[in-house]
Structure formats: structure tokens, C-alpha cells
Structure 1
């Protein structure tokens, strides 16, 4: 399927303006997100954009290009303006077409999907004699995504998460209208920097403290080598080999001569831990989760309460979801494409090649989206009521396909061959720390009873 995607206006033509915003900027951002999601997530889709930057391009140039290319569908993204009072979303097909035409059927589908996600007043499906609808040789739709001169609609437009949702709504409509199939996600490499392996956890902890003093964050990972338990010091994990090599230079410059890189997708991996279902009761407390994160990153924000409360609400293992967040964010250090200000703790939408993924208004919403995304994978049931749907990719998931954590292998955004096992290894480390804490408490009780 060939999609000609047309972000309205551009260059010397700013389009509608209001509340400090210009239409040409909003439409370009939404269109780029649509393109990225479709190209990275679906098979047999070829997207050509009328512009990918702030350039001037005439309407004739746009429609001629789409016609010459032989596009199957023309989608023009716009924002509206009127009198500062009007609000809402509407979309258009050409006035000569009937509601039952092929274009009319596409409009029905896309309109439904967009209005499910955009939080705007629904102004309905309309018809007009716009150039891009009249001069195109293929079915064409023009969407007007809110009124930029209305302060309430403009407040939405200003938010990256809203633009992500609007784009996702258009994507969902195109996917349904043209029966697009999701791509099979291939495993990717994860490059881990190993800064020492020890039989004693105390020695591994000392190495972590040494590296911390040098400004290098690291963690202790329990692993099995030749049937024996070892404690490896891992000084970062990266999807890009170049970034891993930079960290290796830093580690060696700190005095760790024997440091090296392992590729998780090709290196012999430790014995996989026992699998766990995603649905289940959260066992670790918020305090235990927060304490574990702060061992690696003392500046880590406290997320344990959200993972416990939302996990309990949806019946998801909140403590293992927290371990997944530690894996995705490198213990909230955010050394990958997703940055801290996005409040995206699960890498939702971060599909590689620099795509930063979704952004959320608060840490609370970020965790809620993470738990909802896991629910989509683990269960085919409707979402329990009580909270709004904030996961922008919930409807892209094949429901109930991964009831267990290792079922996420090959399915999550950047899974890796042992993605689920890696999550569970972190969870086992969390359990180990909690048991050690309990043992220390019991020892202190014994000491007090003897004194």
C-alpha cells in the first residue's frame, strides 16, 4: 500500500496561527509520527511525505507528486481556525463523493479511530471542494485536528503526548482500512559492559562503589558461569554498539583493565530463571522497589507506589513490571533514546533509529501506561474501569498473546532474544536484596535479644 502523507502548509505558508502556535509545525510533527509508526510497525506500507521539513510546496506540486507516484491513498493533515470559539475535530472527503463510496468508507473508519483517541469535540464527517481532495487520482482525506486559535484545543496541540495520540488514531484507521499486518519484530542486540566477575557479592559491591566514585554507574548481576554462581558488575547496557564502546573506554580509563563487552543476542546467556505469569499479585513493597533502584541510581525517583497500586488494580505483577522499567531505563538513568522528561518507563513507542517514543504528563501516567500495555499483552479481557486509557499503543497489541514474561521476547519494542529472562534476572536480584535485608533485620533482632 502506497500512502502519500501531506502535512499541510510549510515554509513561507505558516497556515493557521494562534496561541503562539503555527499550523505548519503541528501538522509536520503529527505526520512524521504517523510515518514512523507505519514504516517501523507494519508490512507492505510505503509512505511518501509532501514535506519532511519546513519548506514551501504548492498544492499543485503535492497532488501532481501523489498522482505521478501512483499513491493508493492521500492523507492531508491540518489544523483549523475560525473565531477563537470553535473547537473540535472534523475530516473531509470531496463533495462529489457519496457516503457509500470507497473513499467514504475509508473516512468512516479513520474518523472513528481518530476520535477515539484525540479528546477533541467531534464535529463530524464532512465534504468540501478542497484542491487536495479534487485533484487527486486516488481516495483522499483531509483531517482538521482542532482549532489552533481556540485556547483549549491549542493547549492539546502544545502537548507531545496529544500529538502522539492523534497520530496513533490516524495510524489505527489506516491499518484497519487497508488491512495492514504488523511486522514481525526481530531480536536486537544488547551490548553490556562487564567490569568484573566475582564469586563474592561483597567484592562485586566494592567494584560498584569504586566505579561510582569515578562517576560510572553500574549494577551487580547474579549469573551462572560453568555451573557456578558468579556476581558480574555491569557498567551499562546499550542497543548501539558505538555507545557501548564509549562506555568501555570510560571503564578502562577508570582502571578496570579487564573490562569487556558481551552481546546478549549472540553470547552464551545465563540459565534462564523460572518464568512467571504477567498476571499475578505484587509481592515486593514500594519501599523495597525504590531502595533497589537507588542502590544503582541514588537520584532515582520513587515509582514503587505507582507500580504497586496500578499493578494491584489491573492484576499485573507490579514488582516485575518495575524490574522491566529498570531494564528499559537503565535504572532510571535514561541512557537510551527515551529521556527522563518523557516519563516513559517502558520504552513505549521507542522503536529504534533515534525514535524517542511516547511522552507522558507525569510519572503516574507513565507507570499507568506501562501497566496497561502489559495488560494488553497478558489478557484478552477489557481493561478494568477506574482509570482512563493512557497507553497510546494499547490497540496495536495482539491481545493476550504473552501471558508470561518470556512471552514478551520478540514482541516488546526492543525485545532482544532474552528480553523476558533479563527482566526476571533483575527481579531475582531484587528478591535477593530483599531477603538479605530481612536477614539483617533478623540478625539485629537476635543481637538485641541477647544484649
Structure 2
């Protein structure tokens, strides 16, 4: 059988300091994951499985490089993590896999089932594509060269999950070891045939491409010359995975998504469909002052597919964002996606209640610790749009100001999505999360 690489999340040096990960209940994510990892390693070795434990002092990038320098095609790699949420009631375990990879999804299910059989008291949050993570992608799933998954074993911020982890750590380790052993057998059932990768069809921006791609471990790879047609400069992208097969260089297609390339797999025809956002949405993708590209129905479906009850209380929210944003010259796609990030697709769940009609986490004035409230959904959306315009433009408002903090913003300081990070929210990845949500919207609307 192949070998098993296992990494405990965090603990290494990031930005010049030790990264503890989540902190809650007098402990840290790094500490808890290292203790759990050591038990998993012990259990796997007791089963005569070969295990490589990633050193704890490595950064995330160094961890990936360490695995890639040692990994073989029959090996697997797992990173164990604990999650944290602003609400202490959120709990449960999940496993993330690289999006669109059905093989890896099946592998993730093996891992999760193994853990939940040993710890049935742990809620099941399911297996999820890494595009559903807050950042829109997980580098451990995408940049590790061998088959890899990221497992969140629970929420450190939840007292029940934390108590389970600390009191039944061996059961966690046994369950994860069960899943890893099963996964390893799937990847390497004691035989390693010569590489003979199946060919796949490629369609780019609606037209069939003459050259074929290949499938490797469920991942689609495209010929290097096609990347130029998509106007992606690989010389500036050293982390994109490349392989040589029959004297042709191929690139892992999924890794091009963050460069405004849509990746869609049609299993019935074995066709990889590629679309460049620039073809559908010409101009600057992340400019807040610009035009939206979706229809009202696109926004309705996107919201409903991510929260079935979202439109019950706010049935007109897509229409309101399109109308209010158009009035002020703001991209309603961006504003709508920011709302989805802020409210969790209108689930709210934090200290802002639905009846406040505050869809963007806007603060009140006068030193109040409460968030702002608005008399109707339309006025709440209008305030959101006005606040975006304050950041992105020097132009005057078209309507009477309803945003309570409009006058406090330095006008025009953040015309691009990523420039909202550290301003609208202290989260340094805030803009990345909105961009990831925007790409999900365009995939849902088939605009990519």
C-alpha cells in the first residue's frame, strides 16, 4: 500500500510568528491537532501502515513543499483542523475535497464515516468542495501533488465539540485511522500499473478544442498551449501544478479558477468546459463601480440553492439589489455576493437579526454597540449600496443618504473588492471571500 502523510494544522511560523490557529476554552487549534495527530500516527503504525508525520514548525507553504518533495502517486495526505465560529452553538465535523473531483469526494466520505462511527455524538456537517470554504479554495487540497483532503474534526469554539475532542481523543484517532486506512487502500490496492491516463474532450468558450486533455486521479489536466488561449500567464504562477505526459506538458485545470476561468465537468460526454469570465464580463472583474451581469432569476436561484428559506422573509431581495445598485452605478453582483458573505445567505445567526434589515453588517453611530437597523428591506439594501459607493466612488449619491456611516468614509479609497479587506471588515481575507462568492454566482448563472 501507499504511504500516509498527516499534518496537524497550524503551529508553524506564518508572517514571522507562531500560528496557533483557533483559540478557545483555554487551548489552541495547533495544540489539540498535534495531540490528535500523534495518536493517529501511533494507531496507523500499529496496523503496519507507513506514516509520515509533517514537522510542526513548518508554515502552510512549507508543509506542502515537504509533502510534495517526498510524495509518490500511491500516497495520500490529510490535514486535520478544528474550526471556529462567532456563534458557540455551531458544531460538527466535515471533510473538504478539491471541487469537481468525484473520486476525492468519495475519499472524503470514507474519512468522515470512519470518524462518525467511532464518535457518533459528533454532528455530521458533510463532505464539501473546497469552493464552499470561506476562502473559496484550500491550498492543501489544491497544491499537494498527491491525493489530499482537509478534515475539520469539530469546532473548538463549541464547548461540546471541545469536550468530546479532549475527553475522547483516542476515539477520534481510531476513527480517523479507520478512514485513512480505507482511503489508502482505494488509492493503492497493492498494484501500480504504468500510467495510461484516459483522454477527455475540451470545450473552450463554447467551441470544441482539437487537442485532448487527460484525467489523473479524477483531476482534469489541459495542454499547456491552451492556457495561453485563456490569457493566463503561467510564468507568474509557479504554484500551478504541471505534469509531463507523453512529452506534452499539462496543467491541472481546477487551479486556473482563481484567474477568472470557469471549470465545469460534463460526465456524460467526458468534456471539460472552460470559460473565461472576460469573455462574458468584459472589463475589470473586481471593480465595484461597474455593471452587474446576472438576471433577477439568477440571483433568486443562487440564493435558494444555498438557503431554501432565504426568499421566504425577503422575497424581493434580488430585485432590490438590482434596482438600488443600478441607481447608484454599483455592480449589483458584487453587492449581492457581499450580502451573502455577511449574512450567510440570509441566515444571519450573529448579533444582527433579520428584522433589522441590515444586510452588510453596517454599524450605528453615536458609540452604540448595536448594528444599524432600517425600516424596510429596500432601505437596508439602499444603505448597503450607498456605503459601497462611499468606498468605491467620488460621485455624489443619486438618492437621499440613508447609510448612517456614509459621511465617515474616505470617499473613493476602495474601488476594488480586495481593498475592502481591513476596511469594511478587519478580516484580511474579506475581499477574497467576496470574490470567491462572486465566482460561485457566475458558475451558478452559467456566465463562466
Tell which structure's C-alpha radius of gyration is larger: 1
Instruction: Give the TM-score normalised by structure 1.
Output: 0.41
TM-score by length of 2: 0.42
